[in-house]
Structure 1
Amino acid sequence: MAAFPPAQRIKLSGQLQPPGTAPAEVSLSVHQLPAAAQAQEAPTGATDSRTPAVVFCHGFPDLGYSWRHQLGPVAQAGFRVIAPDQRGYGGSSAPEQIEAYGLGQLCGDLAELLDALEIERAVFVGHDWGGFV
């Protein structure tokens, strides 16, 4: 059996932001949408359709708000960023039927979100259940 080298202590810098970035001061807008009833968006003013939007998908049991610390830096990097509340969480609709929470329905919500916001290209960032969706 191969031996692993001894673990080294990780030295933390004490910084809350990555080096070279300023604290994020980004205004968010909230959209009421047919599928994922609420989505936070930090617009950048960039209109180049070749640059994909970045959609942050939260995990269980979380909200789009949980991405608030990531939205600013990613928006400042020139991306349109969106953090929806997924079905059943936060400001979204919460159907009573368990069948309404299948993977097909959850993915369909994200597709409808992109259509409603007229987004042609997107990169998805997920945490926990949001990464699976």
Structure 2
Amino acid sequence: MSGFFQGVADECERCGRGPANHAHMFWGCKKLGRFWAEVFVVLARIVEEEVDADPLVAIFGVSEKPELMERRKADVVALASLIARRRILLAWRLTSPPGVVAWLGDLDDFLRLETIKYELRGSSEGFEER
């Protein structure tokens, strides 16, 4: 098995630093700093309260102190961070980081689909409450 990984670079495709593990590729890469900063600014606007730039939120979609935010808002943050991670995955091997505009487009697309799902179920009010 060790022969399989021989010759595989351990450096990040974006910044050239290693080790290029999951924590680095989703949070620690210096080239992702601006992306995550902008994501957290937008999240704070969406939930109308401060959302600290936190690696637990960025990587897992949860806060270290979930009791500080009401459940509905925590769900929004979790979903939006999932879509941000998806955006990072789509640009995994690119040297430039993903853009917040692309993330907002992804978020908008997903919310449209969720709206349709709730409307088909006859519960569009339930979607708006969430």
TM over 0.5: no
Alignment TM-score, normalising by the size of structure 1: 0.30
Q: Which one has a larger percent helix, Structure 1 or Structure 2?
A: 2
Q: Which one has a larger percent strand, Structure 1 or Structure 2?
A: 1
